[in-house]
Amino acid sequence: MCTRVLWNDNELAVLAGRTMDWPESTQPLLVAFPAGRERDGGQLGPATLVADNPLRWTTRYATIVATVYGLGGIDGFNERGLAAHGLYLESTDYGPRDPAKPGVHAALWAQYLLDQAADVSEAIALMDDVNVVMAAAHGFDATIHLALEDASGDSAIIEFSHGQPVIHHGRQYTVMTNDPTYDEQLQLLAAQDFSHPGDSMPLAGNASAIDRFQRASYFSSMLPKPQNQRQAVASVMAVMRNVSVPFGAPDDKFGIYDTEYRSISDLTERIYFFELTTSPSIVWVRFDDLDLVAGGPALAVNPYDETLIGDITDRFAAADIAF
């Protein structure tokens, strides 16, 4: 499931929060990749998903991501301040494979855009020349849509319907959850006027994607102007905790899953914050202080390491990452 909230009008920093809601652990690693890495968009671990005309590229930009099942980055940003967040969307339809276009499987879709694009507009332009192909892991299809934002505060939501990308591009697209499609979510939101929130306004309180969309919109519209970066990050994290799904969600019956982690991408200071719901400690990494060497090894840390707390930049170590 999941929720993404972008705060791009606070005059201090561009911040994006997300929750990862899933029926099991996504086995995340926090990984920093240097530029100059070779990738194959047709390979998913040992399996070949795109045998005919796979997309291959050399990464232009260094990135920091949270991985999903070790198969690709699902959340994070790059050195130019472009961030990407992959969220579940059951209605996703990538369409049939078009061998005339290089193919990239869905688990590497977000990583590809982070590797190659400097901002939202460049990421959107890259979509003209690639064909996103379904991937699956642990019995789950990667039917995802992407939220993008950059250090200028620009934003985009990209979904696939009948094989075609449906793109909402503009600073005003700050909240995303899951089904129904983004067009439908916006129509539902239009029925609620959150421009002047008050204590008498009825507010949806369920954990469904529709209710979380409205609740995230409501509370993010109420955030006070921050006095410093610490307050700004805390403000976004407060909203993400509000729209998180507590343990015991009725996943099998309603398709609603517990929140595994929350993250915040600070695209102004280039700091990635990460909070496991099973940990009392939040951790963060200062991207600019990582010792990344172009063409060199990836650096990684396991966020489930219970000794981690606070600034963990110096805990990143060389790692053999398969993708």
Q: What is the CA radius of gyration of the chain?
A: 18
Residue of 14, 287, 17 whose CA lies nearest to 176: 17
Instruction: Find all residues with CB under 8 Å of 156, minimum gap 6, and list them.
Output: 120, 123, 124, 147, 148, 149, 167, 168, 169, 170, 173
Helix/strand/coil (H/E/C) assignment for every residue in 221-236: CCCCCCCCHHHHHHHH
Q: Are strands 175-176 and 3-7 parallel, antiparallel or unpaired?
A: antiparallel
The Cβ of residue 77 has, within 10 Å, a number of other Cβ atoms equal to 28
Q: Using DSSP, state whether 165 is helix, strand or coil.
A: strand
Q: Sign of the C-alpha dihedral, residues 33, 299, 40, 161?
A: negative
Q: Sign of the C-alpha dihedral, residues 14, 315, 146, 84?
A: positive
Q: Which of 2, 6, 32, 127 is catalytic?
A: 2
Residue 225 is among the residues annotated as catalytic for this protein: no
**Rounded CA separation 41/28 (Å):** 20
**Rounded CA separation 175/17 (Å):** 10
**Rounded CA separation 109/264 (Å):** 20
Catalytic residue IDs: 2
